[in-house]
Amino acid sequence: MSFAIRTFIQIASLVLTLEAALFLAKGNLGLSAENIALLAATRYDFNPNLVDSLAQQQADTWIGVVLLLIAFILQISNTLWPIRIGDFGVHKGGAICALLLSVAIGIGAFFLSKNLASNTLERVRTILKSHGISALGRPAPEGAGVFMSSHMQVFATVLSGVTVFILGQLLMRFVVEPLQELKRAIGEISHALIYYADVYGNPGLNKDEIVAEARKALRDKASVLRSQANVVPFYDGFTRLKWVPSRADIKSASRHLIGLSNSLVKGDPEHNSKRCEEIKKALHLDIDD
């Protein structure tokens, strides 16, 4: 069950991130040559085409930000959820459900954006009317020299959407992904402790090639664990939130993993078992004996 849920979360977060990017870019990419011409035209009172465009861009930006926030929350939940042995791979049912739900959310977001833009447009027209400004907007005669800041307004709206998207991607790239990699490293240690339990539990009784494989794997996991912990930003803050093991626990687990790798031939089975327990305690691993 957890395997399907994890797949659902991973696929849904990816699709929602794509939908968020489309909404944030929609206001700029959706402008045709005719739209640009109407937006650029100067008018007395106000430019109704510009108002329509800004209302829709505002709605699309809000929808994009909300979708991006939902995708971020899903990514964080997936990152902080301890990885179990059966969670590797892709569950077809979970992937299909995630795609269907994400598409439904995208369609709903499209109509919601239209509704938000319509409500904003009505409020703008009410404000303009209260100031005695024409609700239609009259074209300015040629050479009247009426200055409009439509270009700057459109640019500012597009820039805000792109900025939010870029900040979201930076957060994913430099915070969420390192956390995911650390969780993956911990999950692989859990797998290694189970897979090589007969090797470190019976030192000196296994074939040389199996011992060499186990020694290399355990030492590699110890090195990867430390390296992944070192690239996570604000690590001490995440430790206080109990999202990741403390640096002391990371060092302890790494040290005991290396100790296990060195005790596969002449080691003491009881001592190796204690090392394994220390690793599980340090990394908060739920491994049934």
**Which of 95-104, 123-132, 161-170 is modeled with the greatest confidence?**
95-104
∠ at Cα 196 (192, 197), nearest 5°? Answer: 110
- Mean pLDDT to the nearest integer, 86-115: 82
Residues 231, 200: Cα–Cα separation, whole Å: 30
Per-residue model confidence as pLDDT tens digits over 194-223: 999 999 999 888 888 999 999 999 999 999
CA distances to 19, 86, 87, 91, 120 from 123, in Å: 27, 53, 50, 47, 5
Per-residue model confidence as pLDDT tens digits over 38-79: 555 555 556 677 777 778 888 888 888 888 888 888 877 777
Q: What is the DSSP letter of 138?
A: E
Q: What is the DSSP letter of 141?
A: P
Residues 135, 126: Cα–Cα separation, whole Å: 9
- Which helix (H) or strand (E) element contains residue 65? helix 48-80
Per-residue model confidence as pLDDT tens digits over 23-42: 877 765 555 556 555 555 55
pTM above 0.75, yes or no: no
Q: Are 182 and 229 in contact (CB under 8 A)?
A: yes
CA distances to 114, 123, 192 from 127, in Å: 20, 6, 66
Per-residue model confidence as pLDDT tens digits over 135-176: 555 544 444 444 444 555 556 666 666 677 777 777 777 888
Least confident of 38-47, 99-108, 181-190, 205-214: 38-47
∠ at Cα 68 (55, 11), nearest 5°? Answer: 135
Q: Are 49 and 39 in contact (CB under 8 A)?
A: yes
Q: Are 56 and 110 in contact (CB under 8 A)?
A: no
Per-residue model confidence as pLDDT tens digits over 259-282: 999 999 887 889 999 999 999 999
Residues 84, 101: Cα–Cα separation, whole Å: 25
Residue of higher predicted confidence among 227 and 129:
227
